[in-house]
């Protein structure tokens, strides 16, 4: 669809890829796809760019099955596998075993997921792992840290680019090229494509702090200023740049 060539999601994504994430022509990317709207939009957009001469990107779809949500989670895995097959993109998968996890399950799942993504990227020969974090995620992250108490370091928020092991190691790198894109743009892009996605019911569970903040706090902030998410991204960027002494601030962060 030619009209989507100028969609805000694609504009934001291409800026993020080039200027913030240092993705270049010929790079091979492991695209982390859960089946939710954000990662499906990321995959569809990257797939549209990948074949262009100026990009020539190699894509591999990586899916992590956490085995925390029963049949729903396996349905997500099947959906992602079918989507990748329909696009002609290689699909790889890792299954986690949560039976030995203790303490904060969300944090354990996050650590297990990133470890699995790193493993898949290394095996697939991908120097970059791409996730679908966007501007609304940055806003929520900053608000969560403010609510819990944070110093200046916490206000750098989610990094555009960092070493997947938490440091600038020999790779692969973790990049978030959609940080400048809003959730509204994600949904609009998918609806215009006619592309479906999977919904994770736990995202609406307001007993979880982030979900409650998303449901009860963010709408009020957006009513005060519809661009509050974009402003959160700008704040995090400025803090990161200050902490990095004028560099791009891509080193450390969530």
Comparing C-alpha atoms, which of 11, 56, 41 is closest to residue 183? 41
* H/E stretch holding 233: helix 228-243
Residue 247 has pLDDT above 60, yes or no: no
Model pLDDT, residue 67: 83
Comparing C-alpha atoms, which of 81, 252, 250, 91 is closest to residue 177? 250
What average pLDDT does this structure show over 102-106?
A: 80
**How far apart (Å, rounded) are the C-alpha atoms in residues 31 and 36?**
13
Model pLDDT, residue 61: 98
* Sign of the dihedral through C-alpha 242, 163, 187, 193: positive
What average pLDDT does this structure show over 98-119?
A: 88
Residue 253 has pLDDT above 60, yes or no: yes
Residue 168 has pLDDT above 70, yes or no: no
**How far apart (Å, rounded) are the C-alpha atoms in residues 234 and 238?**
6
List pLDDT tens digits, range 114-159. 999 999 999 999 999 999 999 999 999 999 999 999 999 999 999 9
Model pLDDT, residue 250: 46
Given strand 28-32, what is the order of strands in its sheet?
Answer: 90-95, 58-65, 28-32, 128-130, 173-175, 161-163
**How far apart (Å, rounded) are the C-alpha atoms in residues 61 and 91?**
5
State the Rg of the chain over Cα: 17
Residue 69 has pLDDT above 60, yes or no: yes
Which residue is listed with tokens 């989670």?
A: 73
List pLDDT tens digits, range 204-224. 778 889 999 999 999 999 999
The lowest-confidence range among 64-73, 170-179, 245-254 is 245-254
Cβ neighbours of 34 (radius 10 Å): 23
128-130 vs 90-95, strand pairing mode: unpaired
Model pLDDT, residue 15: 96
Regarding pTM above 0.85, the answer is yes
**How far apart (Å, rounded) are the C-alpha atoms in residues 94 and 23?**
25
Residues 6+ apart with CB under 8 A from 224: none
List pLDDT tens digits, range 32-50. 999 999 999 999 999 999 9
The percent of residues above 90 in pLDDT, for the chain, comes to 77
**How far apart (Å, rounded) are the C-alpha atoms in residues 147 and 188?**
30
């Amino acid at each position: 669809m030619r009209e989507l060539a100028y969609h805000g999601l694609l504009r934001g994504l291409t800026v993020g890829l080039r200027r913030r994430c240092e993705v270049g022509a010929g790079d091979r990317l492991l695209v982390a796809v859960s089946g939710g709207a954000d990662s499906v939009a990321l995959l569809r957009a990257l797939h549209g760019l990948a074949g262009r001469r100026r990009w020539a990107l190699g894509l591999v779809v990586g899916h992590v099955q956490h085995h925390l949500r029963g049949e729903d989670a396996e349905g997500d895995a099947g959906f992602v596998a079918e989507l990748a097959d329909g696009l002609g993109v290689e699909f790889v998968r890792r299954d986690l075993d949560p039976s030995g996890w203790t303490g904060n399950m969300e944090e354990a799942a996050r650590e297990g997921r990133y470890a699995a993504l790193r493993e898949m990227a290394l095996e697939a020969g991908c120097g970059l792992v791409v996730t679908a974090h966007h501007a609304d995620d940055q806003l929520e992250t900053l608000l969560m840290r403010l609510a819990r108490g944070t110093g200046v370091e916490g206000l750098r928020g989610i990094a555009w680019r960092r070493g997947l092991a938490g440091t600038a190691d020999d790779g692969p790198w973790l990049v978030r090229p959609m940080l400048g894109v809003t959730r509204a743009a994600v949904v609009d892009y998918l609806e215009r494509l006619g592309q479906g996605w999977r919904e994770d019911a736990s995202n609406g569970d307001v007993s979880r702090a982030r979900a409650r903040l998303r449901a009860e706090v963010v709408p009020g902030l957006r009513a005060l200023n519809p661009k509050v998410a974009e402003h959160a991204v700008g704040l995090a960027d400025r803090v990161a740049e200050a902490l990095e002494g004028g560099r791009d601030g891509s080193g450390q962060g969530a």
